[in-house]
Structure 1
Amino acid sequence: MSVRISRQHWQALLNELDDARRQRHLLTYRALVERLQLPTPAMQTLTAALEHLAALDARAQRPLRSALVISQGASRLPRPGFFECVVRLGRFQGPVDGLAAAAWHAAEVARVFEFDYREAA
């Protein structure tokens, strides 16, 4: 199934991630779906958009802004699909769950917080 996101929703996603970066906080998938008011299938649309953004950031040698989106569960990490995506992008090697993934994610979030995406555009 092909999933698309409108230009308006894409720009709103980038704005939400930029606000989170500047405020140095993380967003849950659920909160982002609600804020963006994505049409169904909302979670699949968000996931596809975040994976596309990760690919764009990786290609441009930037920290992955999609790392700012996490599950609302106790782990406070992105879903396993995020780690599978970053493995495909060559940004992370190892099991998609566990300490190595958590440590890589924490380091990537710190890199995102420090990076100025406006200057890199």
Structure 2
Amino acid sequence: MSMRISRQHWQGLLGELEAARQQRHLVTYRALIERLQLPTPAMQTLVAALEHLAALDARAEQPLRSALVISQGASRLPRPGFFQCAERLGCFSGAPDGVAAASWHSAEVVRVFEHNYPEAP
């Protein structure tokens, strides 16, 4: 199933992730959904948008900005689907819920914080 996000929500997502990057903060899926006021099915729309952004970042050989989005749970990691997406893009290899995933995510977040992304069109 294909999800679409409005241009306004897409620009909002990019803005929220840039603000998080500049402040060196992570943001939860729930917080993004609330801030962007995404319509139902909000989580599926957000995940599809984050996967699309990850593909754009990977194609541009940039750190994955979607790494800044994490679950509210104790793990403070993205959902397993993030790691599966990163693996499909050739950025990560391993189990989506193990020590390797946590270690790779931590390093990717540092790379995102340190990278200057070009302005969105």
Is the structural similarity TM-score above 0.5?
A: yes
State the 1:2 CA deviation. 1.8
Q: 2:19 — aligned with what?
A: 19
- Runs of at least 5 residues in structure 1 that lack an aligned partner in the other structure: none
Partners of 2:94 and 2:36 in 1: how far apart? Answer: 32
Q: 1:50 — aligned with what?
A: 50
Deviations 1:63-94 (A, max 9, x none): 00000000000000000000000000000011
Pair 49,19 (structure 1): closer, same or farther in 2 beyond 3 Å: same
SS of 2:118 mapped into structure 1 = helix
SS of 2:91 mapped into structure 1 = coil
Superposition TM-score, scaled by structure 2 size: 0.97
Runs of 4+ in 1 over 3 A off after TM superposition: none
- Runs of at least 5 residues in structure 2 that lack an aligned partner in the other structure: none
SS of 1:50 mapped into structure 2 = helix
1:110 matched to 2:113: no
SS of 2:17 mapped into structure 1 = helix
Deviations 1:26-61 (A, max 9, x none): 000000000000011000000000000000000000
Q: 1:93 — aligned with what?
A: 93
The one-letter code sitting in structure 2 at the alignment partner of 1:97 is D
1:73 matched to 2:73: yes
- Give the number of aligned pairs: 121
- Percent identity, aligned pairs only? 79
